[in-house]
Amino acid sequence: MRTLPAAPHTGPVSDWVLHVDLDQFIAAVEVSRRPELRGRPVIVGGNGDPAERAVVATASYEARKFGIDSGMPLRLAAKRCPDAVFLPVDAPAYQEVSERVMARLREFPVVVEVLGWDEAFLGAGVDDPEALAEDIRRGVADETGLSCSVGIGDNKLRAKLATGFAKPAGVYRLTQANWWDVMAERPTDALWGIGRKTAKKLAEAGYRTVLDLAGADPAALAAKYGPRLGPWYRLLAGGIGDAEVSATPYVARSRSRETTFQQDLTDPEAIAAEIETLAGRVSRDVADEGRPAARVAVKVRFAPFLTHTHSVTLPAPSSDPAVLAAAARTLLDRFDFGKPVRLLGVRAEFPRA
Distance CA 192, CA 189 (A): 7
Distance CA 1, CA 212 (A): 12
Distance CA 89, CA 58 (A): 9
What does the buried/exposed string (b/e) look like for 251-288 if buried means 16 or more CB atoms within 10 Å of the residue's CB? eeebbbbbbebeeebeeeeebeebbeebbbbbbebbee
Distance CA 276, CA 328 (A): 8
Q: Which residues are catalytic?
A: 119
Residues forming a β-bridge with 187: 209
Q: How many Cα neighbours within 13 Å face the side chain of 184?
A: 10
What does the buried/exposed string (b/e) look like for 289-310 if buried means 16 or more CB atoms within 10 Å of the residue's CB? bebbbbbbbbbbbbeeeeeeee
As to burial, measured by CB atoms within 10 angstroms (0-12 exposed, 13-18 middle, 19+ buried), residue 224 is middle
Residue 231's CB is within 10 A of a number of other CB atoms, namely 17
